[in-house]
Amino acid sequence: MSKHVLITGATKGIGRACAERFAREGWTVTAVARTQADLLAMKKAFSGQQVTTITADLGTDAGIASIPVHPYDAIVLNAAIFAPGHLLGEEDIYGRLWRVNVWANHQLARRLLPAVRQQPSGHLVVIGSRGTDFQPPHLTAYVATKYALRGLYLGWESELLNSNVKTTLVAPGATLTSSWNNEEPPADILAPETVAEAVWTSVRSGITGRVVV
């Protein structure tokens, strides 16, 4: 029986690259995303591979409740909203980002980890951000949510330290995803595949702690 990974935000960017990487290794992939059309296109592209798609808005209670509980071998909590926003900007986007970037991950961890802890081994991977190492002034709201997510991760890491579940916080720098469609990306921007390789290597080799990409 193949190993099984759940990936949130799986149709674009880092999530899509992670899905491709795990599927290439023969893993069963449960791909979660908000847009059904993107999931249908993904399912078609992954023809012949073991991919299950779930349409869910993780910013809602119903979306969280729709994610199946299963003894996954790995969980990749990747879904996030990236948007520039100043603390004193005209639009206050913090609440919208908080709902997906922090609250949803907290709820998913509470929902999914108990079943993972019942099996011989498992691995929780959280996609953080190098933005928590400095403070880009145009990303105050986004980075604040990633700080909060890093805090949650540290709690999970401590709680799961002596369990069968390994934990890794993968912290990439700026990564070329659709979030950059309206902005000029930096010259040293990461490819999503580079981040996905760090995720895969962490799970394959049992690497724990914070991995900076």
pLDDT in tens, 43-60: 999 987 899 999 999 999
94 within some domain? yes
Output DSSP code: residue 182: T
Query: What domain count does the chain have?
Result: 1
Are 53 and 74 within 8 A, CB to CB? no
Percent of the chain at pLDDT > 70 equals 96
- Is 195 within the bounds of a domain? no
Residue 101, pLDDT > 70, answer: yes
Please give the residue that has the higher pLDDT: either 14 or 135. 14
122 forms beta bridges with 165
Supply the pLDDT for residue 179.
64
Residue 167 lies in a domain: yes
Task: Round to whole Å and give the CA distance between 171 and 212.
Answer: 5
| Domain residue limits at 18 | 4-190+204-212
Q: What is the CATH number for 171?
A: 3.40.50.720
- Find the helix or strand (DSSP H, E) in which 126 lies: strand 122-127
Task: Give residue 112's region: left, alpha or beta (phi > 0; psi -120 to 50).
Answer: alpha
| Band (17; pLDDT cuts 50, 70, 90) | very high
> What distance in Å separates the CA atoms of residue 165 and residue 130, rounded to the nearest whole number?
24
Lookup: tokens for 173: 């720098």
- DSSP annotation of 47: T
pLDDT for 181 equals 62
Tokens coding 197: 């390789």
Q: Is residue 19 part of a domain?
A: yes
Of 38, 39, 37, which Cα lies nearest the Cα of 29? Answer: 39
- Taking the C-alpha atoms of residue 138 and residue 113, their distance in angstroms, rounded to an integer, is 34
**Which range has the worst mean pLDDT, 63-67, 184-188, 196-200?**
184-188
| Cβ contact 195:175 at 8 Å | yes
Q: Which pairing describes strands 209-212 and 4-8: parallel, antiparallel, or unpaired? A: unpaired
Among candidates 21, 17, 31, which has minimal Cα distance to 72? 31
Whether residue 197 is contained in a domain is answered as no
* Mean confidence (pLDDT) of the chain: 92
Q: Is residue 119 part of a domain?
A: yes
Let me know if residue 198 belongs to a domain: no
CB 80 within 8 Å of CB 108? no
* pLDDT band of 183, cuts 50, 70, 90: low
Given this model, what pLDDT does residue 84 score? 82
Is 196 part of a structural domain of the chain? no
Least confident range of 43-57, 76-90, 191-205: 76-90
